[in-house]
Amino acid sequence: MSLGPNIREFRSSDWESLQGLYRKHFGDWAYDRFRARWDWEFRTNPWVEKCPIKILVGEIDGQIVGHATSFPLPLRMFGTQRPLWCSGDLVAAPRHGLLAIMLAKQVEEGRPGLSTGMRSEAERIAHFQGSMTIPSTQTGFEFRMRSTGAVQRSLRRRLPAALRGLASRPLAALVAAFAKPGRPTLPGKPELALEPFERFGQEHERVWAGMCEWVQCALDRDARYLNWRYVDGPARQLIKLQLRDAKGGLRGYSVAGVRVVLADDHEPCGTLGELLELVVCDVADASAVRALASGALHALASTGVDAVVATGLAAPFAAALQEIGFTLVPSAAKMMLSFEPEELAKITAKDTRWYTSSGDGDQLFTTLL
């Protein structure tokens, strides 16, 4: 007799089964990065001492076929900091959709939650459970340079498994060149001098404090948070740039990175650039926004990415980004919140001023280099 689905807390003895589930669901390439990201989210996370994590597994007949987690992050909401739990790694084996719904519900139960990288199916489950989408994350920005990765993925999709190795990047680049789609040209290199930096400090906190004159809701980007996410985390090839004014004061900073796009069979197949952070003292400082975004564009273009994309950011940045060639596109990675109904209605209202980015959750860090 088959037993019904059972949701319980993760035990150390589950580790081997969990690794097998993750490898089967996401493929070998992403699996190789799984352990480093696990340590980052649950062991080096500065907020786990005061705010407990939740790691759940779902069983059918005693076999682990699902998994979900949540880990704490600092939310700044109308001037006050409070903990927020970010959901991650929602995995369920095929034919176990009900188990996925149960996992998603229980991992967020009883505390405010954030879900990132939400695609249509996951978004429908979250809406069904009462979560709401942050309006600013429904739109993204894109600067497309080439279509090599998309062509390579299309070729692999059409070939039998034994012949997919023929769909090489050089072949895809040749096919893409014949298509000759119209592409925007890169903006000129910034006239304002940008400088790379290694770690975040008090200067960057002052920039964030200035930006919070406009921002009402966001993950709180103090130096501890930014270093944990972008310096000491699993992504090791990030591009960090900063801009100073004539007196040497910091006007703003950006963080960008390259992520691998996986084909349908979970093999690496092309890259995209991600503009992960764009923070300025004054959100009306359009020249700083253009300079930092242009600097990131040029740095990412040199790595051969197909496009540079961004999710959300701050609404006043839209005009400056479009001036240098970004286009508005529907977001492929929405963010959703689960709160008490009264709070949820307030923080997801269209006039609430959010700052968000694709780096806010854990989704990107499965493929970010």
Show me where the domains of the chain are located: 6-135, 139-332+358-366
pLDDT at 4: 73
Cβ burial of 252 (10 Å; 0-12, 13-18, 19+) is buried
Quickly tell me which residue has 């690496």 as its tokens.
Answer: 268
Task: Render pLDDT for 4-31 as a digit per residue (tens, 0 to 9).
Answer: 788 899 999 999 998 888 888 878 877 7
Query: What is the signed CA dihedral for 189, 192, 196, 200, rounded to 10 degrees?
Result: -130
Residue from 362, 89, 349, 73 nearest 218 by CA: 73
Residue in 285, 280, 227, 278 with CA at minimum distance from that of residue 255: 278
Residue 1 has a pLDDT of 46
> Of 138-142, 222-226, 277-281, where does mean pLDDT reach its minimum?
138-142
Six token digits for residue 124: 């429908």
Work out the pLDDT band at 263, boundaries 50, 70, 90: confident
CB 186 within 8 A of CB 257: no
pTM of the predicted structure, to 2 decimals: 0.90
- Tell me which residue of 119, 77, 345 sits closest to 219, measured CA to CA: 77
Q: Is the pLDDT of residue 167 over 70?
A: no
261 within 8 A of 253, measured Cβ to Cβ? no
DSSP letter string, 62-123: TEEEEEEEEEEEEEEETTEEEEEEEEEEEEE-TT-HHHHHHHHHHHHTTS-EEEEEE-HHHH
Q: Which of 63-72, 139-148, 221-230 has the highest mean pLDDT?
A: 221-230
Equal CATH topology for 6-135 and 139-332+358-366: yes
Three-state DSSP at 256 gives: strand
Question: What residues pair up with 153 in beta bridges, in sequence order?
Answer: none
What digits encode the pLDDT tens for the residues 44-61?
999 988 888 899 999 888
pLDDT given for residue 172 in this prediction: 59
Q: Please tell me which residue, 66 or 161, carries the higher pLDDT value.
A: 66
Q: Which of 153-157, 208-212, 231-235, 359-363 tops mean pLDDT?
A: 208-212
**The predicted structure's pLDDT at residue 120:** 67
Mean pLDDT along residues 181-185: 65
Spatial separation of the C-alpha atoms in residues 168 and 155, rounded to whole Å: 9
Q: What is the reported pLDDT for 329?
A: 93
Q: Is the confidence at residue 176, as pLDDT, over 50?
A: yes
Give CA–CA dist 363/108, Å, rounded.
17
Cα separation, 263 vs 266, in Å, equals 5
Range 6-135: architecture per CATH: 3-Layer(aba) Sandwich (3.40)
The whole-number average pLDDT for the span 206-222 is: 97
Confidence of residue 175 (pLDDT cuts 50, 70, 90): low
Residue (of 336, 87, 295, 67) closest to 197 by Cα position: 295
pLDDT tens-digit series, residues 325-364: 999 998 877 888 888 888 888 888 889 999 999 889 876 6
Structural element, H or E, at residue 226: helix 223-230
d(CA 62, CA 116): 30
Q: What percent of the chain has pLDDT over 90?
A: 41
CATH number (2.60.120.10, 3.40.630.170, 3.40.50.2300, 3.40.50.11540) of 139-332+358-366 reads 3.40.630.170
For the stretch 287-315, pLDDT in tens is 999 999 999 999 999 998 999 999 889 99
